[in-house]
Structure 1
Amino acid sequence: MDSDKYYIKNVDTEQDSIYCHHDLMGELLIPAHQHKKSQMLYTEGGIVYVETENKTYFLPARHFMWIPAGISHSIHPSSEDVMMRNLYFPTDKNEPDLLLKEGIYPVNEVLLQMLLFTNRWNGNLEKGSPNYTIASAIKAMLPEICKNNLSLALPFPKDPRLVKLAAFLDANLAENIKYSELADRFGFSERSLHRLFLKDMGISFIQYFTIKRILKALELLIEKKAPVNEVALAVGYNSVPTFSNTFFKLLGQRPSDYLKGQEILKK
């Protein structure tokens, strides 16, 4: 890892400052690292995955990810031209529970405008300065507006049998995959496969497969600009209303509304 990178060299140099960094990604991988400060990461213009030790998170547009201090993570954008906006906050003695764990949250209009206002800043914001006060206000808002931690994360399968099964799902998302046939294909009973998913990844097969399909749908909506009905078919939904309802349960908005939010960012 290049020790001259800002996220290694500069973020933690001043313990009590809030560090601000806005720039294009400029690279297709920010290797695994951690900070003594908590990170608020907001991105525009492409797909971004954030990997921690146990999960892969998908960070869609008009959402931010909160990464608590000390959490090792790597960042994987779809393009070097993805815009990244970061605020790094010192950890307070009495942090709200929300800020003690990683999560992905929607950005409302007020928070979006405040984040965009910080676009003119870079580097350490000194405690007591006007900019520090504004950045502190952003952090103070989060427990009030971030009521919905989105389930846009997939755990890594550890069992070699599930690694193969997950690869099969990736290659066949457009197919109508029946759970009973999948279990039989990989030598499981339905009950034993269910138990293995819960033990190995902490979620059921249905939860895992649903999230995987919706994450792929988000990629197609953002990158390919495919219409909603084509995206639904591409991830195995024959019914657009069913796809839309599932999308809404995970993201809190319909696919068409999500695309409208993408257009707002371009203005």
Structure 2
Amino acid sequence: MNTKYYLTEVDKNPQSIFCYHNLMGETFIEAHSHNKGQFLYTEGGVVHVKTSNRVYYLPARHYMWIPSGVRHAIYPSSPNVIMRNLYFPNASSTTRFYKKEGIYPVNNLLMELLLFTKNWNGDIVKSQKNKFAIAFAFKALLEQTVSKSLHLELPQATDGRLINIVNYLTEQIHKEHLLPILASKFSMTDKSLYRLFKKDLGMSFIKYYTQLRIFKSLEYLMNSDYNISEIANMVGYNSLPTFSNTFSKIMGKRPSEYRKSNEIYTDS
């Protein structure tokens, strides 16, 4: 199938459920949208999903629901990332869950059903009763098996000065950055930089910077070549306990627990 299937094939049959598995190796999927809602699951790394105003960090063993019409680009963090996609037509009685973007963990029931569909590619139509019934039930289960979306996203900067600063923080993530020194580097006062973060991103510098570091650490945790202490240093933490406590506060579990619970399924 054409690697640009998402531009040409997904919406060709408006009534079908469209399946596409094992997309890996692409470093970038250009900005696009679908008439169908998208279930995007990943393992083997972190996938960045960029919409017009946010950057989502989709970690392994989680999925993202992307509503129909939402323009998005996809950046896998490594060529080892496996993505599994199911696209669903809009129902006339679509509930709130399917109208908003969200990231959720995959439970065992969803995982078994997803792996059951792993050899399906292309359109699944109502006349394929067995396949369609399973895929249709899969969509219904999404809403019934979650509590709330995980906040694994950051707002995108729109102010030119802040875009440069955010890019700098990302590129120099291995260093610790303090607001006064950062402000001075970009010829600003502490107060003006603080206000710029609040105005453009709707959050404080410290909240944005902390989440950026933790989300970046997710990528390194998928790579077993690094131990937790090394990863802490790679995102600018000199203290392992501080990193571990901060990670736990944002992700709900310790880095070591997260790494263990996100080992790749071998049945892929």
**Same fold by TM-score, threshold 0.5 exceeded?**
yes
User: In structure 1, how many angstroms separate the alpha carbons of the residues matched to 2:70 and 2:53?
Assistant: 11
**What's the counterpart of residue 76 of structure 2?**
77
State yes or no: 1:89 paired with 2:95. no
Cα pair distance change 1:245/1:143, threshold 3 Å: farther
**What's the counterpart of residue 37 of structure 1?**
36
1:90-169 matches, within 5 Å, as: 90-127=89-126, 129-169=129-169
Cα pair distance change 1:247/1:266, threshold 3 Å: farther
Cα pair distance change 1:224/1:168, threshold 3 Å: farther
User: In structure 1, how many angstroms separate the alpha carbons of the residues matched to 2:252 and 2:126?
Assistant: 36
**What's the counterpart of residue 252 of structure 1?**
252
Q: Over residues 100-134 of structure 1, what are the superposed CA-to-partner deviations in whole Å (9 max), with x where a residue is unaligned? A: 11121111122112111111211111126222221
Q: How much has 1:72 moved relative to structure 2?
A: 1.1
Cα pair distance change 1:36/1:211, threshold 3 Å: same
Cα pair distance change 1:45/1:264, threshold 3 Å: closer
User: Once structures 1 and 2 are overlaid, which stretch shifts more, 70-79 or 84-93?
Assistant: 70-79
User: In structure 2, how many angstroms separate the alpha carbons of the residues matched to 1:135 and 1:188?
Assistant: 54
Bigger fraction of residues in helix:
1
Q: How much has 1:178 moved relative to structure 2?
A: 2.1
Q: How much has 1:145 moved relative to structure 2?
A: 2.3
Q: Over residues 122-149 of structure 1, what are the superposed CA-to-partner deviations in whole Å (9 max), with x where a residue is unaligned? A: 1111126222221122221222322232
Question: What SS does the corresponding residue of 2:55 show, helix, strand or coil?
Answer: strand
User: In structure 2, how many angstroms separate the alpha carbons of the residues matched to 1:45 and 1:4?
Assistant: 20
8 Å contact 2:43–2:264 — kept in the other structure? no
8 Å contact 2:17–2:124 — kept in the other structure? yes
8 Å contact 1:49–1:59 — kept in the other structure? yes
Using the aligned pairs only, state the percent identity: 48
**What's the counterpart of residue 263 of structure 2?**
263
User: Once structures 1 and 2 are overlaid, which stretch shifts more, 29-38 or 223-232?
Assistant: 223-232
Cα pair distance change 1:147/1:15, threshold 3 Å: same
**What's the counterpart of residue 232 of structure 1?**
232
**What's the counterpart of residue 182 of structure 1?**
182
User: In structure 1, how many angstroms separate the alpha carbons of the residues matched to 2:70 and 2:165?
Assistant: 28
User: In structure 1, how many angstroms separate the alpha carbons of the residues matched to 2:95 and 2:174?
Assistant: 41
8 Å contact 1:24–1:80 — kept in the other structure? no
User: In structure 1, how many angstroms separate the alpha carbons of the residues matched to 2:77 and 2:20?
Assistant: 19
What stretches of structure 1 move > 4 A for 4+ residues in a row?
none
User: In structure 1, how many angstroms separate the alpha carbons of the residues matched to 2:69 and 2:141?
Assistant: 22
Give the gaps of 5 or more residues in structure 1: none
Q: How much has 1:208 moved relative to structure 2?
A: 1.2
Cα pair distance change 1:239/1:144, threshold 3 Å: farther
Q: Normalising to structure 1: TM-score of the pair?
A: 0.89
Question: What SS does the corresponding residue of 1:241 show, helix, strand or coil?
Answer: helix
**What's the counterpart of residue 191 of structure 2?**
191
Q: How much has 1:70 moved relative to structure 2?
A: 0.6
User: In structure 2, how many angstroms separate the alpha carbons of the residues matched to 1:73 and 1:196?
Assistant: 26
User: Once structures 1 and 2 are overlaid, which stretch shifts more, 54-63 or 230-239?
Assistant: 230-239
Q: Over residues 143-181 of structure 1, what are the superposed CA-to-partner deviations in whole Å (9 max), with x where a residue is unaligned? A: 232223222222222212212221332243333322233
8 Å contact 1:232–1:239 — kept in the other structure? yes
**What's the counterpart of residue 13 of structure 1?**
12
Q: How much has 1:195 moved relative to structure 2?
A: 2.2
User: Once structures 1 and 2 are overlaid, which stretch shifts more, 198-207 or 57-66?
Assistant: 198-207
8 Å contact 2:77–2:219 — kept in the other structure? no
Question: What SS does the corresponding residue of 2:261 show, helix, strand or coil?
Answer: helix
Cα pair distance change 1:150/1:124, threshold 3 Å: same
**What's the counterpart of residue 28 of structure 1?**
27
